[in-house]
C-alpha cells in the first residue's frame, strides 16, 4: 500500500484529501504545516507528498525545497494543492522541484487520476 | 498688526475645525468598522456551525463507506457498484465542503483587515486626545491633522500585510499542471 503525506493547515482540507485518498486504497499521513510535514517525511518514507502553499511556520515551496535536499526525496513526487494559480507561483513551484500544481477546490476524481499518474 | 492677528486667528479656527472634522470622520469610520467586524464574526459563527454539522454527517458517511469497501463482502459485484455510487455522492460533497473552508478563510482575512484598520483609527484618534499647546496657531492644528492622516494612511498601506486570503480563482479551480 502506497503512503501519501498530506500537508495543509486547514483541518477540513486535510480531511477531504485523506478521505478521497483512503477511499482509493492509499495510506495517508497528515501534517498541519510545512515544518511538521518535513518532520513526518523524515520520520517515515512516503511515496508522495501533497502540500498546500500558504501555511504558517513553513510554506509549501519551502517544504518542497527542503525535501529535495534530502537524499530519500530526490525523486519522490511532490504535488502543490493550493488556491494560488498564478503562472509566477507555478514557475516557482517548478523551480523548487515540485512535480505538479493543482488548484483548489480540487475535484476528487482528478486528484486520484493525478496521484495514480505520478505514482506510476 | 490687528489685521494680522485676526487673519491668524481665523486660520487657526479653520484649522481647528478641519482637525475636528477629521476626528469625527475617523471615529465614525471606526464605529462602522466595529459593526462590520461584528457582522463578519456572526457570519463566520453561522457558517462554522453549518460546516461542523455537514462535516459530522460527511465523516459518518465517509468512515462507513471506506470501512465497508475494505470489508470481506466488498468484492461482491453488486456491492462494489453500490459503493461506487455512494462514493460519487461523497466526492461531490468534497468539492462543496472545500468551498465552505475557503469562505471561512476569506472571512478570517477580512476580519484581520478590519481589525488592523480599526487599530490604526484608534491610534489616530489618540493623537487628537491631548489638548494642544497653542490653540491660537493654525500650524498646531495642521500638525495634528497631518499626524492623524499619516497614521490612517499607514493603516491603509499595511492592511494587506498579514491577511492571507485564499485567492479563489474560479476559472482555474481544479486545474492541474504536471511539470
Q: Which residues of A touch B99 (CB under 8 A)?
A: 105
Q: How confident is the model at residue B163, as a pLDDT?
A: 61
Interchain pair A104, B166: CB under 8 A: yes
Is the pLDDT at B14 greater than 90, yes or no?
Answer: no
Main-chain dihedrals φ then ψ at residue A13, nearest 5 degrees: -65, -40
Q: Which domain holds residue B123?
A: 2-158
Q: What share of residues in chain B are helix, strand, coil (percent, to 5)? A: 80, 0, 15
C-alpha to C-alpha distances, B112 to A14, B26, B35, B57, B116, nearest whole angstrom = 24, 19, 14, 31, 6
Number of domains in chain B: 1
The residue of chain B nearest to residue A23, with distances taken between CA atoms, is B66
pLDDT average, residue stretch B118-144: 88
pLDDT band for B117, please (50, 70, 90 cuts). very high
Asked whether the ipTM of the predicted complex exceeds the cut of 0.90, the reply is no
Q: How confident is the model at residue B59, as a pLDDT?
A: 87
Is the pLDDT at B9 greater than 60, yes or no?
Answer: yes
Residue B164 lies in a domain: no
pLDDT band for B111, please (50, 70, 90 cuts). very high
Q: What does CATH list as the number for A3-119?
A: 3.40.50.2300
Q: Where do the DSSP E strands lie in A8-92? A: 27-31, 48-51, 78-82
Residue B170 lies in a domain: no
CA distance B73 to chain A (A): 16
Cβ contact A4:A27 at 8 Å: yes
Interchain pair A16, B97: CB under 8 A: yes
Cβ contact A74:A41 at 8 Å: no
pLDDT average, residue stretch A53-62: 94
Q: What is the pLDDT of residues B42-83, one digit of tens each?
A: 999 999 898 889 889 988 988 888 788 777 565 666 677 778
- Using the Cβ of B65 and the Cβ atoms of chain A, whether some distance falls under 8 Å is answered with yes
Residue partners of B110: CB distance under 8 A and separation at least 6 = B40, B163, B165
pLDDT band for B1, please (50, 70, 90 cuts). low
C-alpha to C-alpha distances, B66 to A22, A80, B83, nearest whole angstrom = 7, 25, 9
Of A13, A100, A104, the CB nearest to B179: A100
Rounded-to-integer distance, Cα A49 and Cα A69, Å: 15
Residue B18 lies in a domain: yes
Is the pLDDT at A91 greater than 60, yes or no?
Answer: yes
Query: Which residue, among B160, B164, B178, would best test binding to A if mutated, counting the most A CBs under 10 Å from its CB?
Result: B178
C-alpha to C-alpha distances, B140 to B19, B66, B131, B136, nearest whole angstrom = 10, 72, 11, 8
Of A84, A100, A108, the CB nearest to B94: A108
The residue of chain A nearest to residue B68, with distances taken between CA atoms, is A23
The residue of chain B nearest to residue A12, with distances taken between CA atoms, is B101
Is the pLDDT at B168 greater than 60, yes or no?
Answer: no
Q: How confident is the model at residue B26, as a pLDDT?
A: 94
Is the pLDDT at A81 greater than 60, yes or no?
Answer: yes
Interchain pair A105, B173: CB under 8 A: yes
Residue B169 lies in a domain: no
Is the pLDDT at A28 greater than 60, yes or no?
Answer: yes
Residue B110 lies in a domain: yes
DSSP class of residue A72? G
Q: What is the mean pLDDT of chain A?
A: 95
Residue B126 lies in a domain: yes
Q: How confident is the model at residue B68, as a pLDDT?
A: 80
Amino acid at each position: 500500500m502506497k503512503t501519501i503525506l498530506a500537508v495543509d493547515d486547514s483541518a477540513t482540507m486535510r480531511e477531504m484529501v485523506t478521505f478521497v485518498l483512503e477511499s482509493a486504497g492509499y495510506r495517508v499521513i497528515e501534517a498541519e504545516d510545512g515544518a511538521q510535514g518535513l518532520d513526518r517525511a523524515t520520520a517515515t518514507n512516503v511515496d508522495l507528498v501533497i502540500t498546500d502553499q500558504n501555511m504558517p511556520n513553513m510554506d509549501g515551496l519551502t517544504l518542497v525545497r527542503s525535501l529535495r535536499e534530502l537524499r530519500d526525496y530526490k525523486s519522490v513526487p511532490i504535488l502543490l494543492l493550493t488556491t494560488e494559480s498564478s503562472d509566477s507561483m507555478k514557475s516557482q513551484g517548478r523551480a523548487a522541484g515540485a512535480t505538479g500544481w493543482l488548484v483548489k477546490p480540487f475535484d476528487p476524481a482528478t486528484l486520484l487520476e493525478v496521484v495514480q499518474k505520478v505514482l506510476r | 498688526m490687528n489685521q494680522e492677528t485676526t487673519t491668524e486667528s481665523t486660520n487657526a479656527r479653520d484649522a481647528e475645525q478641519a482637525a475636528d472634522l477629521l476626528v469625527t470622520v475617523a471615529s465614525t469610520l471606526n464605529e462602522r468598522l466595529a459593526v462590520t467586524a461584528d457582522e463578519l464574526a456572526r457570519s463566520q459563527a453561522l457558517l462554522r456551525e453549518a460546516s461542523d454539522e455537514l462535516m459530522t454527517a460527511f465523516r459518518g458517511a465517509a468512515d462507513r463507506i471506506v470501512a465497508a469497501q475494505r470489508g470481506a463482502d466488498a468484492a461482491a459485484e453488486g456491492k462494489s457498484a453500490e459503493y461506487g455510487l455512494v462514493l460519487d455522492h461523497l466526492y461531490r460533497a468534497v468539492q462543496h465542503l472545500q468551498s465552505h473552508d475557503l469562505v471561512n478563510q476569506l472571512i478570517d482575512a477580512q476580519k484581520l483587515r478590519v481589525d488592523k484598520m480599526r487599530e490604526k483609527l484608534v491610534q489616530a484618534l489618540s493623537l487628537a486626545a491631548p489638548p494642544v499647546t497653542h490653540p491660537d496657531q493654525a500650524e498646531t492644528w495642521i500638525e495634528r491633522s497631518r499626524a492623524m492622516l499619516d497614521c490612517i494612511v499607514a493603516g491603509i498601506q499595511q492592511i494587506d500585510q498579514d491577511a492571507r486570503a485564499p485567492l479563489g480563482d474560479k476559472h482555474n479551480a481544479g486545474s492541474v499542471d504536471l511539470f
